[in-house]
Amino acid sequence: MPALAAFSALTVGSLPYADPHHACERILRTTPEIPAWPQLPQRSFRENMYAQFSERFPGIVLEDDRLWVDRQQDLDPALEALYLAYLEDDLDYAEISPPYAAALHPFLDLVRASLPSSAFAPSCLKAQVTGPVSWGLTVLDRDRRPTLYDEILADAIARHLRLKARWLERALRQVYPHTLIAVDEPYLSSFGSAYVSLSREQATALIEEVLSGIDGLTMVHCCGNTDWSLLLETSVDVLSFDAYSYAAQVALYPEEIAAFLDRGGMLAWGITPKSDDAYAETIESLVERLCAAMHALAEKGFHIDDIRCASLISPSCGLGPLPEALADHVLELTAGVSSAMRERYA
């Protein structure tokens, strides 16, 4: 496994740019140690985080800007094909085609071209897949019932996304041996509410199904508040969270964080806000905010150096919905905080 240097910067995944090459260049310039394949949802609905991983899912219908599962179809042949691919680890089955990921191949080409330069030495390459809880609660059937509430489809969703994650990992490893695959679970912020009928055991099993298929480093991102113990107790290597808004809530789980750090886990502090609040911040103000959050966690019984050594820097969430100018600013702030933290605590 690659060692991730403390305070390395990374992105959550999505960017607002329409030009794939421009998006890739921005990523390699601002987050060169953990560059991430950029998803471009403003370019096409197919790059929406749910549509992007929908190809070949049984009964899936993508029409204009709508995505749903048609249960009126005979799903048995497609389910059989999915389970056969799963059993045989047929990653070609899970290919994400260029219309659904316009920046993927330009990203890989740019990384490949940059590697001969001694100035470019990434710790790993990052890609991301939508998590099974969020995908299954967002993608509905014709009756507007979440597909996750169908026992057969819920199992199929986890296996489908596991194959997508493994396909992405293989694509990255054809260019660079070290990878970080993130599972994005924004809907976990609703876990435990009256609006989500899902047990802790079900949520853990679904997420673990995807994580267990990944050979390299893994990450889970949730941009809202949730039961952080659920994620900390999975096999994930990096926990990514909105530290600008929810650092105090994450610190409420000191025992789980201690066990997570003891086994080598890292925290990706989403300290740069993905909103107009970023214009009111500077590198210095965000560094002070981050240091305060780290010290608040240290007061729970941690050594501050242990926290710093296990820390990465990122925006609070994906930047896909933002205006380009704001996304540019967030990326520059994130890179600046990463550099400033290293200078302070080298």
User: In CATH, what number is assigned to the domain containing residue 110?
Assistant: 3.20.20.210
pLDDT value of position 119: 81
Residue 7 domain-assigned? no
346 has a pLDDT exceeding 80: no
**Is residue 34 within 8 Å of residue 2, measured between CB atoms?**
no
Region 112-121: what's the mean pLDDT? 88
Amino acid at 42: Q
Residue 15 domain-assigned? no
pLDDT category of residue 265 using cuts at 50, 70 and 90: very high
Distances from the Cα of 280 to the Cαs of 19, 133, 247, 275, 287, in angstroms?
28, 34, 19, 10, 14
DSSP state of 32: -
Residue 14 domain-assigned? no
pLDDT value of position 263: 95
Residue 81 domain-assigned? yes
Region 215-237: what's the mean pLDDT? 96
Residue 2 domain-assigned? no
Region 8-17: what's the mean pLDDT? 97
Region 282-295: what's the mean pLDDT? 98
State the total domains in the chain: 1
This prediction has a pTM of 0.96
Residue 4 domain-assigned? no
- Give the range of the structural domain holding residue 152, as residue numbers without chain letter: 20-345
Distances from the Cα of 90 to the Cαs of 83, 170, 332, 336, in angstroms?
10, 12, 40, 42
2 has a pLDDT exceeding 90: no
pLDDT value of position 281: 97
Of the chain, the end-to-end C-alpha distance in Å amounts to 23
332 has a pLDDT exceeding 70: yes
186 has a pLDDT exceeding 90: yes
pLDDT value of position 344: 94
333 has a pLDDT exceeding 90: yes
Query: Six-digit token pair at 220?
Result: 């889970």
98 has a pLDDT exceeding 70: yes
Residue 76 domain-assigned? yes
Integer Cα distance of 73 and 62 in angstroms: 14
Residue 1 domain-assigned? no
117 has a pLDDT exceeding 90: no
HSE value, Cβ hemisphere, 13 Å, CA-based, for 4: 32
Region 311-316: what's the mean pLDDT? 98
